Chain A
């Protein structure tokens, strides 16, 4: 059940990205192009997602535990550190350059555009570098 629900969540997430146009880097870059061909539609996608997630999380967490796990695993950190800001800033530069963030890039893999096939392995390498080289044993607590 746990695996089925996770698979279903993945397919729904990917379909949401496809339907909304997030899997199209050109559209993402138009969204980020405030002073040019600005396409605000992705802001509504994000707001729509939050509009469902916020009340949904609230409802779900009225339960003591999730359905197929013994506890909710929520990020506990509330401090602001340089990692958070530097990481997010770096992420944003890459997002603007390529028009992909991780979810849409993985979702776009089966369409096999050349750029996607370059981006995804590079992204995995970037993650691996951050995990094993730069951060060492730094422990991931959020997300």
Chain B
């Protein structure tokens, strides 16, 4: 159900604007003085949409979605840096490569998805089963 909504969103963005729903690409193109600043207001609208989703959920259901987020400063700061840096260097994240890229049968996206899944598995394995946490 959630997956289908994500897919529907990607199809709408492609049908309307001819753009790939790659979140990291949309965000990074908004950053000031980026070399690839294109369609900034539009990218911004998508981000506004993302930010509105949880409040809309709150209005409909009366509660925010349940989540548990680590509040360990170094962990979350390093995680954020790595995710942001890696998404730009690797030309995409879970949405751009994992959903849109694989749907287009892009070889690059298959490789990227297998790679970040692999290092993701490995990181959680080390954190939970070797370091213990």
Contact = CB atoms under 8 A, between A and B. Distances in A.
Interface of A is mostly: helix
A107 B50 contact: yes
B37 to A, nearest CB: 10
A109 B68 CA distance: 13
Q: For chain A, which range describes its interface: under 10, 10 to 19, 20 to 34, or 35 or more residues?
A: 35 or more
- Residue of B78, B85, B115 most packed against chain A (CB within 10 A): B85
A131 B35 contact: yes
Interface string B1-31: 1111111111111111111111111011101
* Chain B facing A: main interface SS: helix
Nearest to B112: A88
Interface residues of B, number: 109
Interface string A70-85: 0111110111100111
A57 B12 CA distance: 9
Contacts of A46: 3, 94, 98-99
A142 B108 contact: yes
A11 to B, nearest CB: 4
A123 B124 CA distance: 19
B31 A131 contact: yes
Contact of A56 (B14, B23, B102): B14
A91 B86 contact: yes
B3 A48 contact: yes
A91 B13 CA distance: 24
A118 B71 contact: yes
Contact of B21 (A9, A45, A48): A9
Contacts of B128: 29, 33, 36
Interface of B: 1-25, 27-29, 31, 33-36, 41-43, 45-57, 64-73, 75-104, 106-108, 111-113, 115-125, 127-129
Given A100-B80, A134-B89, 12 more contacts: A29-B128, A32-B117, A46-B94, A89-B86, A89-B118, A89-B119, A91-B87, A92-B86, A94-B80, A95-B94, A100-B83, A130-B84
Interface of A: 1-3, 5-27, 29, 32-36, 44-54, 56-57, 59-61, 63, 65-69, 71-75, 77-80, 83-103, 105-111, 113-116, 118-132, 134-135, 137-143
30 contacts: A3-B41, A6-B45, A7-B49, A10-B49, A13-B95, A14-B50, A17-B2, A49-B7, A56-B103, A66-B18, A68-B16, A69-B16, A73-B20, A78-B108, A87-B90, A91-B93, A92-B117, A92-B123, A93-B86, A93-B122, A95-B120, A110-B55, A114-B69, A119-B83, A123-B81, A123-B84, A126-B85, A127-B27, A140-B29, A143-B93
